[in-house]
Chains A and B, each alone.
Chain A
């Protein structure tokens, strides 16, 4: 048993406890409170004067799949050989020993969704993992966690695909491809239901249909790289037509349709917005967008899109939003319980409460201050930094 004693505990779901104690056993939180007794022989971590915070979660990054310190040709992030590559899986491209995972720990980030890149319309499946652990198997939280799609794909921005491969050049073209594949998946499902043994002979297509079928059955969401209302209205129409769940990834101007997102319960995985290069493409972006969406009832989380912004600096985006009016409490939720919910793992992650995974950090001070240091990080109750 491990006791973290004396720190200011941000439980997130059960308020803040000054000079509290957290008890951990078998990798889980078992108790948290002001005066929590523990048996003799318990290992005690003195956290007096420190802040104890749930592990932060980044629902959109490319850690390990864009290798740190190599040139672009070594990257495994974009399979730019076709506009539809639903048969590829992020896990096959990830180096689990990449330095990027250390960067995550350096910023108190303990879990993340790693995506394939946004070059294609249907990019491949993504995966939810922990930043550290004894084995890859123990680190994988959900595989697949969703299907990555990109609304501004294929030569409209990002790495240019081969000239020989047909890619859409307009939003109409992207919508057209997506609609085609959703219709084909509906037909695939009908054939399956009518007892046909092998409705699709081509394995690559079959793999794509299998995942899209899960999306149509709402077993997992599509996670869609999309920024502006011009991206989102067509997605709303597709959602009405086919009935599926999706998350808005990036969502620079998504606040403009906040009430519609709220009504549809579409979460926004917002960011990264510290690089000025985003701004020219999205002239309506504004630093209080997270607050506007939160006030409208949209589930919002922050993302770094590492290596666009270092995953270490996830919390700095929250600080920027606080500067522009978001309350610190809501900002912390957007780093913890909100992304855990978007990941589909709110029962395990995102807050300090009994029964959840003991993933947490000890900060020297307020995690929304740049000068605060991450002093220790624990995953599954074990110190990993």
Chain B
């Protein structure tokens, strides 16, 4: 058992921010988070006076471990067919992919590993599907070469709008229009609700039984509304991804209770679909009461920039606590793993990051990243509980 004491702790939970507080850890779990410095007898004490502690960051929409380290390794999209409900992102997961270690070093301890394309880059239309496959919630720290799966079926990924339309049109395949994108998805949903479901459509059956949500890539209002129509017709749970024009229909999204995974925050208006892009999108959605997480869509932006993206939203008017929740507890809820991660509360996994300085500023330093109670990047000077370690971007220890 050990306790890290003296820090300002952002719990992202009901206790809010605790000044000069202690976090007590045993067997990889949080025993308690409490103001003051009193700890149980026999507990090793680590002094973190003047530091800030936040929950391990969570990116609900990530391709880290799938293709971040190479344009030539395109395992995130089975672009030979637009309809792939039977695919699993986990089957493309490479546990020694460097991006994962960099996520760890940057304090991103949990991700939603999704199939599907990162944003198009340099004007090239990248590969994508329409129904793209199953995503899972995993930790970025692997154990014995295996991913640590928090939730195997975290959502069925789909994509609407220009991106699939343009890709398949240029490949001289269907769909070439939004009409056919929707028709194809309806066909897939119908196949999932027949009595005898073919193996390829079993994930669709799970979606219709509301065992997990659909995770639908949309930018424009028209695609947001199309997704809402589809949801009304087939009664499934849904999370929207990117949601670039969401601010225009914020009240509808609020009324329908649709969570949004917005971002990447600093993206530019590349393509007609992003014409109405604004930094205020996530701010407005959150103000109107929509549940908002933000994403780096790694490798579009490296996942370890997640806290700075949250900082940009604070600059644009989002409350600090809200911005921190958008990269911790809210993505945990969206992934269906908030019983394990996302906030610092007794009984949850001991996943947290110790900062010197404001956690949402680039120039602040990460002193330690802790996953399941173990220091996995950096180290606190007197943290004898530390074991292991990992490399940061440039191949050096973080500190």
B281 to chain A, nearest CB (A): 14
Residue of B nearest to A69 (CB): B275
A323 engages B365 (CB within 8 Å) = yes
With both chains docked as a complex, state the minimum distance between the C-beta of A74 and any C-beta of chain B, in angstroms: 8
List the A side residues contacting B277 at CB < 8 Å: 69
User: Chain B nearest CB: distance from A147 CB in Å?
Assistant: 22
Distance between Cα atoms of A323 and B358 in the complex (Å): 13
Q: Hey, which chain A residues are within 8 Å of B123, CB to CB?
A: 66, 72, 75, 159
Tell me, rounded to whole Å, the shortest Cβ–Cβ distance linking B124 to chain A: 7
Does B315 make an interface contact (CB < 8 A)? yes
Select one of A72, A276, A371 contacting B311, CB under 8 A. Answer: A371
Cβ–Cβ contact B363 & A274, under 8 A: no
A-B contact count (CB 8 A): 114
Q: B78-86, B129-137, B209-217, B293-301: which one contacts chain A?
A: B293-301
Size of the chain B interface, CB-CB below 8 angstroms: 45
Complex interface: chain B residues within 8 A of A355 (CB): none
Q: Does B167 contact A (CB under 8 A)?
A: no
When C-beta atoms are compared, the residue in chain B nearest to A98 turns out to be: B269
The residue in B123, B266, B360 that gathers the most chain A C-beta atoms within 10 A of its C-beta is: B123
Flag if A72 contacts B301 (CB, 8 Å).
no
- Contact A68-B268, Cβ < 8 Å, known A277-B71, A319-B363, A371-B360: yes
In the complex, how many residues of chain A place their beta carbon closer than 8 angstroms to a beta carbon of chain B? Answer: 40
B377 to chain A, nearest CB (A): 15
Contact A322 B121 (CB under 8 A): no
Contact A306 B272, beta carbon cutoff 8 Å: no
B270 located at the interface, meaning its Cβ lies under 8 Å from any Cβ of chain A in the complex: yes
From B121, B308, B311, B364, give the contact of A275 (CB < 8 A).
B121
Q: Across the interface, do A275 and B300 meet the contact criterion of CB distance under 8 Å?
A: yes
Task: Name the distance in Å between A234's Cβ and chain B's nearest Cβ.
Answer: 24
Interface contact B315-A373, CB-CB below 8 Å: yes
Task: Contact check, A371 vs B299: say whether CB atoms are below 8 A apart.
Answer: no
Which segment of A2-10, A122-130, A308-316 sits at the interface? Answer: A308-316
**B234, CB-defined interface residue at 8 Å:** no
**Other than the known A276-B68, A369-B361, what 14 A-B pairs have Cβ atoms closer than 8 Å?**
A70-B275, A99-B269, A159-B123, A159-B124, A274-B305, A275-B121, A277-B299, A280-B69, A287-B393, A306-B268, A316-B308, A369-B363, A370-B308, A370-B362
Instruction: Mark A residues whose CB is within 8 Å of B.
Output: 66, 68-72, 75, 99, 103, 158-159, 274-277, 279-281, 286-288, 306-310, 312-313, 316, 319-320, 322-324, 368-373
